[in-house]
Amino acid sequence: MLSALVLALALTPLPGTQPLPPELTAQLAAAWQNRPAGYVPRTRHLNPDGTPKYTNRLFLSASPYLRQHAHNPVNWYPWGDEAFAEAKRLNRPVLLSVGYSTCHWCHVMEEESFEDEEIARYLNEHYIAIKVDREERPDIDAIYMSALQELTGGGGWPMTMWLTADRRPFYGGTYFPPRDGEHGAGAGFLTVLKKLAAVYHDQPKQVATAADSLVAEVRKNLAGTAPGELPTASVFDAAAAAYRERYDARFGGLQQRRKFPSDLPIRFLLRYQQRRGDAQALAMATQTLAQMAAGGIHDQVGGGFHRYATDPEWLVPHFEKMLYDNALLALAYLEAYQATGRDDFAAVARDILRDADRDMSLADGGFASATDADSAGPDGRRREGWFFTWTPDEITAALGPDASRRVIAAYGVTAAGNFEGRNILHQARAPDAVAQELGITPAALRESLAAARATLYAARARRPPPLRDDKVLAAWNGLMIAALARAALVLDEAAYAQRAARAAEFVLGRMRVDGRLRRSFAGGAAHHDAYLADYAFMIAGLLDLYEATGERPWLDQSIELDRVLADHYEDAAGGFFATSDDHETLLAREKPADDGAEPSGNSVQALNLLRLYELTTDDRYRQRAVRTLRAFAQPLTAAPTSLAEMLLALDFAAGEPREIVIVVPHGRGEAAPFLAELRRQFVPNRVLVVAVEGQDLAHQAERVPLLAGKTAVGGRATAYVCKRRVCALPTSDPAVFGQQLRGDAVSR
């Protein structure tokens, strides 16, 4: 007996199409029968019994983003040969739409255009429509984003591109309003679709010429530049000068209307201050971190950070939360804590990691990718930010009059609100001033606000939550593994390392096939070949986990992953391609050369190689790192701010990294006094090995020759601080160890 959905599929073809083939209909019906419990079709087109009126091929996808579009009336295809073969057979252009599951403007365009039956009908009759999740397929995203930037000078998501049947782009844009005149636009999406379909058929030579020219530019842009000489330390000064020139002295960050945390690279500024003694660099870093922590971009109730702020004050964010943003920010706050000793920076790092563990953890140990900006309000309509915002009455109802008075004063809450009649909580004034006004001590205010935040979090949890994108990305999990492992070391909390280990075990155990990583895990299975960033970020996380735990398997696994990069991703001329040598053939093979919201895989892998060299003394790692840095000599010299993360690797290479070995007679706990001294100092360019005399030391020494000949002198925990394999005198005194870290001791 046919299910209700099979009947609906048979009786309700997608607008402008014939009924779906029986085999596809059967696959969709089976997928419907096996849908998750509580599944709610994301569409306004519903049958009286609540089943979706329309279902397309995307319902068979594991990608949460593609499944969001599974019940649009658009005849969507996933990226693949089937779609392009159909475009060629029917002589149609391809409409390529690229986005991600927590993208607010992607949702807007879906609701306005892809849910519109008239627009869907035109698309289905005149185009082949393809949906791509940019988080699962960054290779596709990079190619067509490069084309879009050539066409328009800018980019963003949703990315909307027009392609020929052989995958070549000839026109593109981002968000399009549905019809002429809406949202102030001249030509709406439907008009643009009609005009470009006519151009495609009436002017094929012009389309081919435009596509050829665009593809040539894309290939040139993504191929990288010729290798040069290893950049000198002058690039640090050039980058610092560029940041000083654009710095927002009032609010921190760079002077611009929208503010992304990644636009001002905190970790570079901290290293520059250490290298040059530049007080302004330190002030730029710390003011920016403090302003972000006080702003609405920081979730004052739950912890963690939203993706970016729409204003210079860091007040009004786009409310999605991305795993990678929060991992990178945790690293920045941890390093700033070490560089300054400011406890508030350590507290922010803890908040970020608590939020990730509480709201982004999955049952099997991995971390989800993101949470949405939009959520359902009391009327059921989806609104941006409703979940995260408050009215005074809501706060009072949750906390009572006394506690709510403190929260309202501390977080700038007003009856009028600061966002669509509601309040984004932010630290409007200095806590000491608020405490004085309330007639309490600053300590009492801190204690009261901590309790209030827990209560508000519980109250907020009863609201319909934003959607969470539960796919696990290897790269982003690698970043969070690194953040947790660093926190375990810096904050002396072993639980962070344990949580990092669970995530590492998930990626290495569930997302690896025949020794090769997969990019994503969703729907109970791993998908897509991994990219350079997946390997590089995981290697970095595993190296941090090794240093935090002293457990050799993490180092072994990092070396195994690097071996795959060397065999399948590395360019003999230097650097790494984003895709493997056996990956799907696309219009271009990118060699990533830009550190944006996420660092490039080349930047992270250059530092990985330098760390592996220091640990293993295998000079091949150093040679490969130098080749990588030389491969990017031109952009590093001409525009060092475009590769801010690579400056960290260059800083490591240009300095004298500390090789720190701590040998203990019985157990790792005996290293605690030395690790406490290490925590109190900012020593970014170093490797750390803690080993227990006997079998553990011998086992680790097989991989880490630094351990050879090192002992716990006199049966006491002993530290060795070395530079370029030349060590200071071994010491069992943590104070002397601290002096050696600062470079006060003479090496022998």
Q: Which two tokens stand for residue 54?
A: 């329309």
Percent of the chain with pLDDT over 70: 98
Instruction: With a cut of 80, say whether residue 504 has pLDDT above it.
Output: yes
Q: Which residues contact 685 (CB under 8 A, 6 or more apart)?
A: 271, 651, 652, 655, 656, 657, 658
Work out the average pLDDT over 253-258.
94
Least confident of 453-462, 520-529, 638-647, 739-748: 739-748
Among candidate residues 222, 257, 278, the one where a domain is terminated: 222
Return d(Cα 515, Cα 511) in angstroms, integer: 10
Instruction: With a cut of 80, say whether residue 54 has pLDDT above it.
Output: yes
Domain residues for the domain of 703 are 658-741
Return d(Cα 234, Cα 670) in angstroms, integer: 42
Q: Which two tokens stand for residue 721?
A: 């601080």
Cα-based torsion angle of the residue sequence 27, 52, 10, 95 in order, rounded to the nearest 10 degrees = -70
| pTM beyond 0.85 | yes
Q: What is the mean pLDDT of the chain?
A: 95
The answer as to whether 189 is a domain residue is yes
Are 540 and 571 within 8 A, CB to CB? no
Structurally, how many domains does the chain consist of?
3
Task: Determine the pLDDT at residue 10.
Answer: 59
Instruction: With a cut of 60, say whether residue 165 has pLDDT above it.
Output: yes
CA-based nearest residue to 194, from 117, 116, 99, 93: 93
The answer as to whether 543 is a domain residue is no
Return d(Cα 91, Cα 79) in angstroms, integer: 18
Task: Determine the pLDDT at residue 444.
Answer: 93
Are 664 and 730 within 8 A, CB to CB? no
The answer as to whether 49 is a domain residue is yes
pLDDT in tens, 658-674: 999 999 999 999 999 99
Instruction: With a cut of 50, say whether residue 124 has pLDDT above it.
Output: yes
Least confident of 44-53, 530-539, 547-556: 44-53
3 state DSSP class of 191: helix
Instruction: With a cut of 50, say whether residue 406 has pLDDT above it.
Output: yes
For residue 584, give the DSSP letter: P
* 128-133 vs 94-99, strand pairing mode: parallel
Single-letter residue type at 456: L
Among candidate residues 465, 483, 518, the one where a domain is terminated: 465
Instruction: With a cut of 50, say whether residue 448 has pLDDT above it.
Output: yes
Task: Determine the pLDDT at residue 748.
Answer: 34
The answer as to whether 358 is a domain residue is no
Q: For residue 744, name the pLDDT band (cuts at 50, 70, 90).
A: low
The answer as to whether 615 is a domain residue is no
The answer as to whether 499 is a domain residue is no
Work out the average pLDDT over 529-536.
98
Task: Determine the pLDDT at residue 166.
Answer: 97
Among candidate residues 436, 465, 494, the one where a domain is terminated: 465
Work out the average pLDDT over 223-231.
93
Instruction: With a cut of 60, say whether residue 747 has pLDDT above it.
Output: no
Are 208 and 219 within 8 A, CB to CB? no
The answer as to whether 557 is a domain residue is no
> Residue 31 burial (CB < 10 Å; 0-12/13-18/19+)?
middle
Q: For residue 5, name the pLDDT band (cuts at 50, 70, 90).
A: low
Return d(Cα 321, Cα 465) in angstroms, integer: 13
The answer as to whether 243 is a domain residue is no
pLDDT in tens, 323-362: 999 999 999 999 999 999 999 999 999 999 999 999 999 9
